Structure 1
Amino acid sequence: MNYAETIDYLYNKLPMFSTMGCTAFKKDLTNTLILCERLGNPHNKFKSIHVAGTNGKGSVSHMLAAILQQSGYKTGLYTSPHLKDFRERIRINGDWVDEDFVIQFVEKVKPLIEKIQPSFFEITVAMAFAYFAEQQVDIAVVEVGLGGRLDSTNVITPELAVITNIGMDHTNMLGNTLEEIAAEKGGIIKEKVPVVIGEKHPATAPVFTSLSSGKNAPVSFANDQFILNEYNFSHQFLEIQVQERQSGTIHKYVLDLPGIYQTKNILTVLQATDILRKIGWNIEDQDVFEALQHVKSLTGLSGRWEIIKENPTVVLEVAHNEDGIRQMVDHLGKLNFGNLHMVLGIVKDKDVTTMLNLLPQKANYYFTNAHIPRALEAKHLQEQAKLAGLKGITFDNVNEALKTAIANASPDDLVIVCGSIFLVAEIEKDEV
């Protein structure tokens, strides 16, 4: 098989959560352990950082990878889902996994695929671990796919575990309360492995403290260690002033990730970096500063308040659950622009009603859907949005919706595409 045929085989042969939802989620680690054993247990051949959380885990993973890379370490990065190309999921120092490796890996494990019928995610995790081991990375940042305890990535024993925050998402699989969801995500906490919690919440902090105590794992909460003093932002950069609580030392950073929600993620990253230093990783202050200013170019991160056009300003934002939409709306409230045009698509298994009720009524809506089975059909989205006081027209294709929004917008207007990672993935940036 060539690369295109190989990817086609993976997409069509293996159940994908992105298209099928919870039916593709395997609720144990058996297949991943079998795959890894057949491959010589590659997950034991490199050091790692494990990152979980409801929101922010992608941004935090990319920022940590950028810092380690800038510090001179050969750094692997495993994230999901991809936006355009499968190989985005597996990177070393920002470079995608080689096509030849993907082809050879799939050919090698094909008999096992036929035998144990793994999910798409289980295969991609095993592929990433095999690649990182073969390439002898110094360390890999591994983002959890879903939850933590039963996620395929949870076969690693990392140098550090990071849990960004806990919100109400994937409740049909992770639980109906913050405490239940925290317990699932806290499943990545390992014996004596330090863990950083990004946001301290009264409902979830006791869960993490108890889990960490049971594993003899030192736990720290980022906002116990750092204070956000102030921030300024533009469409391209976010300037942040952070203070260490204990010493009072003030640090100033410029991020090329301008979403205001990154003010929370940066505290998590700084605390994680502090722990990495304490356990022996050589990370200079200047490397942190440089890395945070160039996260996109170092790692290839996209879709987080990503500006793809000016006059009118067009933003791609992968906010896709209640907390993500809330943070996005908070950001919108701090901007100056003319009229707001929202190109919106949501998947069926989200809390659609809650998300819609958070969105501003004073906006022009262009309802659409990604072309995956999980997507909520544009007409149905329009009907539910109407109940929330949101009015607009429907499109079957997000690019047609965006084209219409831009045509209707004045130069000082803001156009934003949001609601689903898979919707943002279908945007043809070159045609905007």
Structure 2
Amino acid sequence: MARFQALGDWLAWQEQFHPRPIDLGLDRVAGVYASLDPKPDTIPTITVAGTNGKGSCVAFLEAIYKAQGYRVGAYTSPHILKYNERIRIDGLPVADDDICAAFERIDAVRGDTSLSYFEFGTLAALDIFSRNDVEVRILEVGLGGRLDAVNIVDPAAAIVTTIAIDHVDWLGHTEEAIGREKAGIFRQATPAIVGDRNPPNSLLQSARDKQAELMQIGQAFDYRKQADGWDWFCDRLKLTDLPEPNLQGEHQFHNASAVIMAVMCLQGRLPVDEQAIRQGLTTARLQGRFQLIAGTTPILLDVGHNPQAVQTLLDYLREHFPSVKVHAVFAMMKDKDIPGVLAIMRERVAQWYLAPLKNPRAASEELLTSYFRQQDVTSVNHGYADFSAAFEDARRHALPGELILIFGSFFLVSEYLSHFS
């Protein structure tokens, strides 16, 4: 008999079941996976790691392979509105019943092995993809790479997007240490695609040490923007007059370029024509990344939560809203580099509205206001009961033509989309 019938009950139990919410390591999850699906794993897989840009790369890959007619499984995290967003087949979230059935199968074979919330989800995704005969799997690393649960699968190609300081409690305090962890997804004689022009040497050296087929943007492949469209090229191929990526921001050309390199590397196993690449670039969708809600007072949503991502956000604002007054509804998790983010955005935001989040990891109002005081930022509004109150206050103060920016956390964007979209 199943432990639970409803998806919400399964998830609530998983959040409390394992003693540590984050427990990096492959032994437990690999052992359960072997019991869950003992037959050889032959589905071509692309694993995507990096500090920022993972979700965008998955979205481009998903759209390109779907445009070619492949049955595509994609696994991402975190979700914004519903858990089901994490496990998709052909772009559509799988049903509650399918996830519950996978959780039941995992629970039945795990024995005394304890699994974390993320490990349950990873195993469920792999199980569902296997049972639904997907032809290509795209797996987003949750944290790091080397010890992340998705690394129990050997990829046919691996992408590392960018490297920056984040998750220091688990990955290390330097880019070199973080680079070594991200490089854990590379395999011998397998394409290792790096979408960072200036990655830490540890990432590149790890690829060489593993004898992976290292391909770095600016070295093995690159892109060039034209008046209309852009060109992508490597040493043996050039694609010209490509349509601009549907996802916004200059950094998306980097992400799309890394994705095209991966697609080209896998042509022998997963042939893709140029038309599918073009279609995928223009149909990729991703919630919460420079997501603009049009209106008299437009609203911009962005899940950026570390200095590298927020610098990209600032660049986007300078290009698309160069002289527009910005009202920022803001929150961050307390384990993030809040001072680094404020240092980047303090001059661009006219008014801040601190939105409380019902999450134990969220930075308290007291902590946030202390960081604002340290940086001599005085235009800070706080004391709200919840996100809705903070947002409504921003909406009252913002004049037509000014911009409301909601950024700093996935959870913050989720609050807006849950209540106001």
Tell me whether the two structures share a fold, i.e. TM-score over 0.5: yes
Any idea what SS the aligned residue of 1:116 has?
coil
- Of 395, 409, 414, the match for 1:425: 414
Map of 1:28-427 to 2, 5 A cutoff? 28-41=25-38, 44-111=41-108, 115-201=112-198, 204=200, 206-230=201-225, 240-244=229-233, 246=235, 250-277=240-267, 279-296=268-285, 301-336=286-321, 337-361=323-347, 362-390=349-377, 391-394=379-382, 395-427=384-416
Q: Distance in 1 between matches of 2:229 and 2:387?
A: 34
Q: What is the CA-CA distance between 1:257 and the residue it aligns to?
A: 1.2
Q: How far is the alpha carbon of 1:77 from its aligned partner?
A: 0.3
Measured in 1, the distance between the counterparts of 2:245 and 2:4 equals 35
Q: In structure 2, what is the Cα distance between the partners aligned to 1:14 and 1:194?
A: 35
Q: Any unmatched runs of 5+ in structure 1?
A: 233-238
How much does 1:35 deviate? Answer: 1.8
Between stretches 215-224 and 179-188, larger displacement belongs to 215-224
- Kindly provide the amino acid, as one letter, of the partner of residue 67 in structure 1: I
Q: CA deviation at 1:384?
A: 1.2
1:310–1:177 distance in 2 versus 1, CA, 3 Å: same
Aligned counterparts of 2:30 and 2:407: Cα–Cα separation in 1: 36
Summarize the Cα distance change of 1:135–1:248 in structure 2 as closer, same or farther, 3 Å threshold.
closer
CA–CA separation in structure 2 for the residues paired with 1:248 and 1:33: 40
Q: Deviations over 1:265-316 (max 9, x none)?
A: 1221222222222x342111111111111112xxxx2111112232211011
Change beyond 3 A, Cα 1:16–1:422:
farther
Post-superposition offset of 1:253: 1.6
The separation in 2 between residues aligned to 1:67 and 1:43, in whole angstroms, is 26
SS in 1 for 2:142: coil
Opposite residue 334 of structure 2, the aligned amino acid is K
| Letter paired with 2:58 | S
Q: Any idea what SS the aligned residue of 2:275 has?
A: helix
Post-superposition Cα deviations, 1:348-406, rounded to whole Å, max 9, x if no partner, equal: 11111111111133411011232111000133212312322332112342232222212
Contact persistence 2:329–2:406 (CA under 8 A): yes
Q: Assess if the C-alpha contact under 8 Å between 1:240 and 1:263 holds in 2.
A: no
CA distance in structure 1 between the aligned counterparts of 2:282 and 2:4, rounded to whole angstroms: 34
Q: In 2, distance between residues paired with 1:249 and 1:59?
A: 20
- TM-score, normalised on structure 1? 0.89
**Aligned to 2:169, what secondary structure does the other structure show?**
helix
Task: Summarize the Cα distance change of 1:245–1:405 in structure 2 as closer, same or farther, 3 Å threshold.
Answer: same
Q: Secondary structure at the match of 1:14?
A: helix
Q: Is contact 1:342–1:415 with CA below 8 Å preserved after alignment?
A: yes
- Distance between the aligned counterparts of 1:219 and 1:120, measured in 2? 33
In structure 2, the CA distance between the partners of 1:16 and 1:346, relative to structure 1 (3 Å rule), is: farther
CA gap 1:209/1:357 in 2 versus in 1, 3 angstroms: closer
Tell me if structure 2 keeps the 8 A contact 1:90–1:97. Answer: yes
Give the 3-state SS of the residue equivalent to 1:76 in structure 2. Answer: strand
Q: Does the 8 Å contact 2:7/2:96 carry over to 1?
A: no
TM-aligned CA deviation for residue 112 of structure 1? 5.2
Query: Unaligned regions of 5+ residues in structure 2, if any?
Result: none
Root-mean-square deviation (Å):
2.4
User: Offset of 1:89 from its aligned partner?
Assistant: 0.4
Counterparts of 2:213 and 2:279, CA distance in 1: 29
* TM-fit CA distance, 1:129: 0.3
2:36–2:105 CA contact under 8 A, matched in 1:
no
| Count of aligned residue pairs for this structure pair | 415
Separation in 1, partners of 2:76, 2:229: 26
C-alpha displacement of 1:45: 4.2
SS at match of 1:115: coil
Indicate conservation of the 8 Å contact 2:331/2:408, yes or no. yes
